[in-house]
Structure 1
Amino acid sequence: MKLYYSPGACSLASHIILNEINVDFDLVRVDLKTHTTEKGVDYYEINPKGYVPALEINPGLILTENVAVLPFLAQHDPKQDLIPPSGLGRAKVLEWLGYLNSELHDAYAVFFGPELSAEEKQRAYAGIDKILKYTEEYLQESDYDYLVNDHFGPADAYLFVLTNWSSMIGHDLSAYKNINALREKVGSRQSVQIAMRDEGLIP
């Protein structure tokens, strides 16, 4: 398999899950400003949508969108317990991926477009906080070690990656005790450390 990624972008979640499963894969860096790969290939020829992640499963067979790529990868090695094979447990993973993708991802994304005024930033921070407060309260009431169950999975990786963006936009996460506890747990995993080093995010 081959993952098209941009350092620190949401494709980092796929990179993390790839490190968790027993599979060989290649990484291809994409410049999202020029929409070219590190070898100068027009990325639109690979993924007409123009953004990451894109997972090349076989030559010419491309899968895109986090809500599709992450479950596909997570189910690759059932021994890893990254995602339930069926039933309500699997549905809960998809529920969280959908929520993170449609709500939290979009809330952060406004910071990566045209520059925001001070007033627009405060409104955007409030939008992020609304979603994080829901997640914080959910974790507070949950008896699980991770978002969905007692096993690390794709929703945990995705939440970790998205909340990483707070440091890039001057957003304070200190009020979110449970989210930060989960972030620390996820961030300490070898799969995460390797992915972040490979993408140049940590030494």
Structure 2
Amino acid sequence: MKLYYTPGACSLAAHIILNEINVDFDLERVDLKTHTTEKGVDYYSINPKGYVPALEINPGLILTEIVAILPFLAQHDPKQDLIPPSGMGRAKVLEWLGYLNSELHDAYAVFFGPKLDEEQKQRAYQEIDRLLNYIEKYLASTDFDYLINDRFGPADAYLFVITNWSKLIKHDLEAFPNINLLRDKVAQRQSVQIAMRDEGLIK
């Protein structure tokens, strides 16, 4: 398999899960400004949508959209710990991935488009805080070690990656202690450390 990625983008979540399932894979970096890969390939010829991630499963067989890629990869976990194979457990994973993708990801994404004025920034921060507050209250109400249950999974990786963007947009996570506890657990995983080093995000 080959993952087309941009450092620190949501493709990092797929990179983490690839490390978790311990398979051989290649990485190819994408410059989202020029839409060219590090090998000089027009990225639109790989993913006509133009954004990352894209996962090449076999030559010519491409899967896009992080909410599709994460469950696809997680189901290849030989220990069957990352995602339940069916039933309510799997549905809960998809429910969280949907919320993170359609709500939280989009709320952060406004900072990566046209420049915002101060009033627009404050409204955008408030929206992020509103969405994070839902997650914070949920985590406070459960005894789970992670979002879905006591096992790390794709939703945890995705939440970790999205909330990493707070540093880029100067957004304070101090008001969310349970999210920060979860983030700390995820950050300590070997799969995360390796992925972040490989993408040049940490030394």
TM-score range, shorter chain: over 0.9
1:90 match: secondary structure: helix
1:28 match: secondary structure: strand
Hey, what's the Cα distance between the residues in 2 that align with 1:131 and 1:61? 35
Q: Which runs of 4+ in 1 moved over 3 A?
A: none
Residue number in structure 2 paired with 1:161 = 161
Residue number in structure 2 paired with 1:17 = 17
Q: CA deviation at 1:80?
A: 4.4
1:116-164, Cα deviation, whole Å (9 max, x unpaired): 0000000000010010000000000011110001100000000000000
Hey, what's the Cα distance between the residues in 1 that align with 2:115 and 2:61? 36
Q: Contact 1:5–1:11 at 8 Å: present in 2 too?
A: yes
* Identical pairs, percent: 82
1:1-20, Cα deviation, whole Å (9 max, x unpaired): 00000000000000000000
Q: Contact 1:21–1:80 at 8 Å: present in 2 too?
A: no
Q: Contact 2:21–2:78 at 8 Å: present in 1 too?
A: no
Hey, what's the Cα distance between the residues in 2 that align with 1:22 and 1:183? 22
Structure 1 residues 1-203: aligned runs within 5 Å: 1-203=1-203
What is the one-letter code of the residue matched to 2:37? T
Q: How many residues in Structure 1 have an aligned counterpart in Structure 2?
A: 203
What is the one-letter code of the residue matched to 1:59? P
TM-score (norm 2): 0.99
TM-score (norm 1): 0.99
Hey, what's the Cα distance between the residues in 1 that align with 2:20 and 2:181? 21
Hey, what's the Cα distance between the residues in 2 that align with 1:73 and 1:36? 25
What is the one-letter code of the residue matched to 1:133? N
1:165 match: secondary structure: helix
Query: Which structure 1 residue ranges, 5 or more long, are not aligned?
Result: none
2:79 match: secondary structure: helix
Hey, what's the Cα distance between the residues in 2 that align with 1:31 and 1:118? 28
